[in-house]
Amino acid sequence: MEIIRFLRRMGYKPDSHLSAKQEADVVAFSALIEQMLLPALLHTFWVDPQNYVELIRPWYGASMGFPYNLFLPYLNRRKVISRLEFSVGRLPFITIKETEAQIYRNARECLNLLSHQLGKQDYYFGNLPSTLDAVVFAHLAPLLRAPLLGRTLQLHLKALPNLCRHCSRMLDCCFPTLSAEGGSRPEREQMDANLQKLTELVNKESNLIEKMDGNLRANSKSSGQGKSSQQVPPDISTNGPTPTAGH
């Protein structure tokens, strides 16, 4: 949404062909996506253990050098978790599983509403794309195309064919050099192999750092204990002359 506001300030108006009611619908559905769909997307990519360890951490870490790739993904994950806790809220008597279930229920409901609103149209408001089409595509395309392991939300999206066709249509319109199917089979296999190697490398580096940290802590602790054992308390009988009787 920040990009859209920036473009509007610069004079670009992708919704100039819309009526006042349609512009209001754009605002309403965009807010709905941010409130109901975005939390589930964040959870899918950053909180789900399988997706984070096998996909997001290697991909995110690949764009930065050592040692930042070892801890920045973790810090970003903590930020996402804090954001979800703040935006969704969790009452003391509601478990984490119940909170996650509510997040995904909201997301499925949002996807169903978006699918119903789109219907059989190419775009949400006729034959030309609008801001809403861009917002929907930005949220759904990564979910649709990413090789996720935790696929709860992805499978629900794939069960809504008009939304899948909408993503492919927007991809062909705005990014014609990319295939809607994610490239040829050999290319996908090579990408999967590279991702697997990258995942193994990052996991090995993370384990090595944890092992080194554990060794340093153990050595520091044993060194402290050795120093304390070498300190002998002073013997009062050896300090100064022995007092004699009569003094």
**Rounded to whole angstroms, how far apart are CA atoms 193 and 65?**
21
Backbone φ and ψ of 26, nearest 5°: -60, -45
Spatial separation of the C-alpha atoms in residues 74 and 63, rounded to whole Å: 14
Token digits for 73? 């993904």
Q: Rounded to an integer, what distance in angstroms lies between the CA atom of residue 139 and that of residue 41?
A: 8
CA angle centred on 71, ends 153 and 150, rounded to 5° = 15
Contact 119, 162 (CB under 8 A): yes
Which phi and psi angles does 126 have, rounded to 5°? Answer: 110, -140
* DSSP category for residue 130: -
Question: Mean of the pLDDT values across residues 169-174?
Answer: 87
Q: Take residue 24 and report the two structure tokens written for it.
A: 């209001």
**pLDDT recorded at residue 199:** 52
Overall average pLDDT of the 16-20 stretch: 89
- pLDDT bucket at 240, cuts 50 / 70 / 90: very low
Helices (H), the chain: 2-9, 20-32, 38-42, 49-51, 57-62, 68-88, 96-118, 131-145, 152-158, 161-174, 185-230
pLDDT band for position 5 (cuts 50, 70, 90): confident
How far, in Å, CA of 205 to CA of 196, rounded? 14
Its sign, for the CA torsion 87, 106, 103, 159, is negative
- Report the chain's mean pLDDT, rounded to a whole number: 78
Q: In one letter, which amino acid is 63?
A: S
Q: Is the pLDDT of residue 166 over 50?
A: yes
- Nearest of 67, 68, 53 to residue 198 by alpha carbon: 53
- Give CA torsion, residues 58, 59, 62, 64, to 10 deg: -110
Residue 235: helix, strand or coil by DSSP?
coil
Furthest-apart CA atoms within the chain: distance in Å? 116
Task: Identify the residue with better confidence: 194 or 103.
Answer: 103
Give the start-to-end residue ranges of the domains of the chain: 2-183
Tokens in use for 82?
Answer: 């804090």
User: pLDDT of 42-100, one tens digit each?
Assistant: 999 999 999 999 888 888 888 887 888 888 888 999 998 888 877 766 555 566 788 88
- Let me know if domain 2-183 sits in CATH 1.20.1050.10: yes
pLDDT greater at residue 103 or residue 192 = 103
Q: DSSP label at 56?
A: I
